[in-house]
Amino acid sequence: MTQHPVIFIDGEAGTTGLEIRERLATLPVRLHSIATTHRKDPAARQDAMAAADLVVLCLPDAASREAVDMAAELGEVAPRLLDASTAFRTAPGWVYGFPELSEAQAAAIASAPRVSNPGCYPTGAIALLRPLIDAGIMDAQYPVCINAISGYTGGGRSMIEGHERDGGPAFELYGLGLEHKHVPEIHLHAGLGRRPVFVPSVGHFPRGMIVSIPLHLDDLTGGVTVDDLNTVLAARYAGQDKVHVVPKDAGLSAEGLAKSDRMELRVHGSPRHRQAVLTARLDNLGKGASGAALQNIALMLGLSA
Ligand SMILES: NC(=O)C1=CN([C@@H]2O[C@H](COP(=O)(O)OP(=O)(O)OC[C@H]3O[C@@H](n4cnc5c(N)ncnc54)[C@H](OP(=O)(O)O)[C@@H]3O)[C@@H](O)[C@H]2O)C=CC1
Ligand SMILES: CC(=O)N[C@@H](CCC(=O)OP(=O)(O)O)C(=O)O
């Protein structure tokens, strides 16, 4: 009989953990769970880690760091790790779990002992920026500004309860101190030489996200046009299953890909004014979190998602 690989989700009862568990039903794997009453018991968690081929960490950053230490204590029987938190996304020794990042990335994820799952906003921002930097169209010193809106499920249990129990603001800017935890990850993996300005916002809808990046074409290299931007992105993601470059729309609803694990990229703009806006639309819980985790799990275990 075929032995299916064993997965333990540390933090299985949280928002991200539950979404990953649901998606695992589509893969030939065996889920190893611990009783809810023991879910924070270090000994029970370490035993579960020892029994697993792959541990998916769906914990707050501090708990994730502790879990990584606990796994390392297991020495030769230490499992491979996929971490959903922000803790290791720019850390040495970890492979960034965005398979579409470059031609080599999916193979790097497939063989890595430790993979960090990308943040929701960076997924959109990096997908739009990295191909332009790689193609030499955008200088690494370009002063990038990124706007984004997320559904309230991006804020985890406390924000979800706030919006669903008390009703939340229809639209709220936050992170205005410009220290959002996703900036280092975007800065590094997009290949930017200069720290981007990032202005996130949250709306009173559960899931969905748009990341948008306005550009002055005259500040890019080589007289680039709106159509050139589209050509570069379309070539970069041709044949990808989860990331698609699609025609521009007159408007764009953030909820258009709710409950999907795909991401849509668009190039909007005015050739006359030499200005463009790049957009990425995704579900913050889909390609922005658990959908990406499922892609990474499948790659790490040599399965097709
Ligand atoms: N793109 C991505 O990959 C995304 C990643 N995340 C990240 O995933 C992680 C979890 O976020 P989210 O699911 O939204 O958060 P939740 O608060 O919904 O879930 C976290 C879970 O971890 C449990 N937990 C907390 N501390 C411990 C501990 N020491 N040992 C065991 N379990 C513990 C919590 O239990 P209890 O509720 O009882 O405290 C809860 O069940 C965060 O790091 C977040 O940044 C989030 C969204 C997207
Ligand atoms: C609306 C909202 O609060 N969003 C979260 C990001 C959610 C996310 O996906 O980020 P991680 O994967 O890094 O947890 C925030 O801005 O902190």
Residue 305's pLDDT is what?
74
pTM value > 0.80: yes
Residues assigned a catalytic role? 120
Residue 2's pLDDT is what?
67
- Ligand 1 centroid to 16 CA: how many Å? 7
Residues flanking ligand 2, CB < 6 Å: 86, 119-120, 150, 154-155, 159, 200, 202, 284, 288-289
Side-chain half-sphere CA neighbours of 132 within 13 A: 29
**Of 292, 270, 264, 266, nearest in space to 213 by CA:** 266
Instruction: Choose the residue to mutate in 16, 19, 146, 181 for probing ligand 2, maximizing ligand atoms within 8 Å of C-beta.
Output: 181
For the chain, list the domains and their CATH numbers: 6-117+290-301 (3.40.50.720), 120-282 (3.30.360.10)
Ligand 1 atom nearest the C-alpha of 153 is 14
Residue 226's pLDDT is what?
98
Residue 1's pLDDT is what?
55
pLDDT tens, position by position, for the chain (305 residues)? 568 999 999 999 988 999 999 999 999 999 999 999 999 999 999 999 999 999 999 999 999 999 999 999 999 999 999 999 999 999 999 999 999 999 999 999 999 999 999 999 999 999 999 999 999 999 999 999 999 999 999 998 889 999 999 899 999 999 999 999 999 999 999 999 999 999 999 999 999 999 999 999 999 998 999 999 999 999 999 999 999 999 998 889 999 999 999 999 999 999 999 999 999 999 999 999 999 999 999 999 999 87
**Of 238, 237, 245, nearest in space to 278 by CA:** 245
- Ligand 2 centroid to 119 CA: how many Å? 7
Torsion angle of the four alpha carbons 38, 22, 113, 195, in this order, in degrees rounded to the nearest 10: -100
Q: How far apart are alpha carbons 93 and 155 in whole angstroms?
A: 28
What is the amino acid identity at position 158? Answer: S
- Ligand 2 centroid to 181 CA: how many Å? 8
- Ligand 2 centroid to 221 CA: how many Å? 33
- Ligand 2 centroid to 213 CA: how many Å? 18
Closest C-alpha to ligand 2, atom 9: 120
Residue pair 152/202 in contact by the 8 Å Cβ criterion: yes
φ and ψ at residue 109, rounded to 5 degrees: -65, -45
Closest C-alpha to ligand 1, atom 2: 289
Residues flanking ligand 1, CB < 6 Å: 10-11, 13-17, 39-40, 58-61, 63, 84-86, 117-120, 156-157, 288-289
Structural tokens at position 257: 């890909």
